[in-house]
Amino acid sequence: MPRTYKRKTDRVSTPLEELERAVKEVQQGKTIRQVGKEMKICRMTIKRHMDKKKIGEVTKPGYERTAVAKRVFNENMEKELADHIKTLAAMFHGIGVMKCRELAFEFAQRNSIDMPASWTRDEKAGPDWFNAFKMQTPKQVVTEKGKKQVGSVTSAERGELVTVACAVNATGNAVPPMFIFPRVRFKDSLLNGSPAGSIGHCTKSGWMNEDAFLIFLKHFIRHTNCSTDHPVLLILDNHESHISLKSVTIAKENGVIMLTLPPHTSHRLQPLDKTVYGPLKTYYNRAMDGWMRSHPGRTVSIYEVSELVKQAFLSAMSPTNITSGFRATGIYPFNRDIFPEEDYAPSMVTDRANPEDEPSATADLPGEEPSTSAAAHLPGEEPSTSAAAHLPGPSHEPTHVTADPDPGEPPATLTNPEHLSSDKSGSSAHLGYVSPEVILPLPKATERKKKCVRKKVKTRIVTDTPEKMELEKAHKEKEDKKAEQEKKKNEREKKRALKAANQTKTKKKTAVYSSSEESSTTNDEAEDGLEKTHSREKERAEKKKRSGNKKGALKGSKPTKPKKKVLSSSSEESDFPIPLSDTTHYESSDVQSDDDDGDKDLSAGDFVIVKFAGKKSKCYNYVGLVENVEGDEISAKFLKQSYKRSVDGKPIFTFRENDEGVIPRGDVLKKLPTPQKLGGTARREYTFTFPCSIDKWDVQ
């Protein structure tokens, strides 16, 4: 059927009364042709009407049989398909338009039903069939004709969260709300324009917490005038902020009985969620749209929230909405049968048989009576003999064969014999018929491999003495755990402080042969200046000596002896003596060959070349002073090479600050001879050169 059908002929325009009168004329003895000429009605129209009257009563003229012949599914099949789709939606596993069209195509193909060629080409039902099957009317906006998208002004992409806590009673009254703002300090200006009697509080996130709920509870007690003589029942969810020891204690002292709802049921059992918060959000969005149009170019801040909530609060918190919420949830008037069986359909996905009710999990032996299922059955139905629970079919209840089933395949499905028929206008089932439930089975959750470690909660009266004792016990355990963690933290801080103190002592002990990185650069610059000054003074002294000798020879005076220069060090003493030569110059006979590894029997005070592994299989060599030898491990303090060289071209080394480590004995490449001091200044007393060539080792 086209989506925009236009009538092209004037057929089926003869009224039903004239057709009935023509039939009576024919029954009185006239021929059909004669009556047609007299009444100006086509003779075939009169004949078809007479044939329809033989089958049954005719209520209106038309080509009903022609329309039935063009239908893909008969009435029963369409009803079964529609019921299956509704069942999936009730179980929160609804399908979309495209999936529905694909399901209809597979339904017709599996049952060998004639269908249009476009269905086979696209492998899905056509849009005309779907529009006739289920009409959908999306929300529309009035705008220019032909426009595809209509924009609307909004406040901001991401706003700030402000929580509003409300409380209502069954008579239709409401407690003034409490606002929770995402701030650290509360300001009275945040409540400008709020409903009368409102209070405010601030948290870092803007969410409810234990301290905020305690303030709201006191606010609730003050407005309800409850006491132990006039108790009040407060129904709330199981959020952790609502169930604290302080809140329960204050509630019990003031006659507030706190009853918590079962988990994941507040959308059905909470009156505010049912009939109040929905209109409140609608009115709030409407008030925000009006504010945006009245203040173009501005965004709504938390200082305008209270005023906007007041406009919505007065409209949404009406006695009609509040009392409807208590009635819709079955709380007041009390109605335990307020929810039909269809509302429990989502739980069927995770329904499993209780293992405690089943005597044995093994399969029934041949010859024994099959055990009945422990799953619940709908009223009026016989208990199934299947071990698994199945939802009833939409129109026909299939019979499930469960004798020796293959665990890897779904059970076979047969229809009841009384419904077998191949007539297109009759029943939907025939021999080999495939139902929509077989094509798209109802969802069933598998067993969870990992159990949830989250604490399970349930509906309970929190202010009862046993529940309060459990809260006190949990609070005590929490405080003990917190104290233990604080104790461990203090111990870790003490160990860290002790370690830092020991490191400080080690620095002071090793300061005699170590220098800081910060002062090394300054000392190198000072060394250059001292060397230049020393050379200039030496030249002056030689000149004076030569001139003095000449003058003495001329005058006959004796030459003066040069004074000895005394070098002293102000550095602290080391823990063990460093084996250095006392002379600043050494003979060529003391120089060892660079190919001689020397004695590998290492001891404290020896200088060695050590290999270190770097990134990407690259190795670096360093010079170190052996401090201690323990088996295959060596403790050493390392030296750094200066960018300058001595007079004879040998590299100069100084100690690094806090550069110590333990190395394997196998990483020692060479044992070096005793180094020589450069001397000359107090700082140069601890700069060394080695009487051998170490250039080939590429020492860092």
- Report if residue 466 sits inside a domain: no
- Report if residue 622 sits inside a domain: yes
Which range among 85-89, 157-161, 202-206, 379-383 shows the weakest confidence by mean pLDDT? 379-383
Strands 232-236 and 256-260: parallel
Q: Is residue 523 domain-shared with residue 599, that is, in the same domain? A: yes
Give the domain CATH number at 331. 3.30.420
Alpha-carbon distance of 601 to 589, in angstroms, equals 23
- Report if residue 240 sits inside a domain: yes
Q: Is residue 185 domain-shared with residue 288, that is, in the same domain? A: yes
Residue 592 vs residue 87, higher pLDDT: 87
Alpha-carbon distance of 697 to 655, in angstroms, equals 19
- Which residues on neighbouring strands pair with residue 399, listed in sequence order? 414
Percent of the chain residues topping a pLDDT of 90: 28
Q: Is residue 291 domain-shared with residue 177, that is, in the same domain? A: yes
- Return the closest-CA partner of residue 327 out of 170, 173, 166: 170
- Report if residue 380 sits inside a domain: no
**Orientation of helix 245-253 relative to helix 210-224, angle to 10°:** 10
Q: Is residue 120 domain-shared with residue 242, that is, in the same domain? A: no
- Supply the range of the domain harboring residue 50: 16-70
- Return the closest-CA partner of residue 30 out of 8, 50, 12, 9: 50
Angle value at C-alpha 570, between 565 and 572, nearest 5 degrees: 140
DSSP 434-468: --HHHHSPPP-PPPPSS---SPP----BTTSHHHH
Q: Is residue 199 domain-shared with residue 275, that is, in the same domain? A: yes
Confidence of residue 204 (pLDDT cuts 50, 70, 90): very high
Do residues 347 and 264 touch, judged by C-beta distance below 8 A?
Answer: no
Residue 94 identity (one-letter amino acid): G
Q: Is residue 525 domain-shared with residue 629, that is, in the same domain? A: yes
Residue with tokens 């301290």: 211
- Report if residue 621 sits inside a domain: yes
Q: What is the pLDDT of residue 131?
A: 84
pLDDT in tens, 335-383: 999 999 888 888 888 887 766 665 554 444 444 444 433 333 333 334 3
Domain boundary at 342, 377, 395, which? 342
DSSP 238-276: --TTT--HHHHHHHHHTTEEEEEPPTT-HHHH-HIIIII
- Report if residue 361 sits inside a domain: no
Counting the structural domains of the chain, the total is 4
Q: Is residue 215 domain-shared with residue 95, that is, in the same domain? A: no
Q: Is residue 252 domain-shared with residue 275, that is, in the same domain? A: yes
The pair phi, psi for residue 378, each rounded to 5°, is -70, 155
Model confidence at 232: pLDDT above 90: yes
Domain boundary at 315, 342, 369, which? 342
Q: Is residue 274 domain-shared with residue 294, that is, in the same domain? A: yes
DSSP tag of 384: P
- Report if residue 94 sits inside a domain: yes
Tokens of 417: 């014999």
Alpha-carbon distance of 251 to 253, in angstroms, equals 5
Model confidence at 403: pLDDT above 50: no
- Report if residue 28 sits inside a domain: yes
pTM of the model: 0.50
Residue 69 identity (one-letter amino acid): A
How many CB atoms neighbour CB 632 within 10 A?
Answer: 9
Percent of the chain residues topping a pLDDT of 70: 67
- Return the closest-CA partner of residue 677 out of 533, 507, 513, 517: 513
Tokens of 343: 């509302």
Domain boundary at 342, 372, 407, which? 342
Q: Is residue 216 domain-shared with residue 86, that is, in the same domain? A: no
Tokens of 3: 């989506």
Q: Is residue 186 domain-shared with residue 89, that is, in the same domain? A: no
Q: What is the pLDDT of residue 606?
A: 84
Q: Is residue 627 domain-shared with residue 608, that is, in the same domain? A: yes
pLDDT in tens, 20-44: 889 999 999 899 999 988 888 888 8
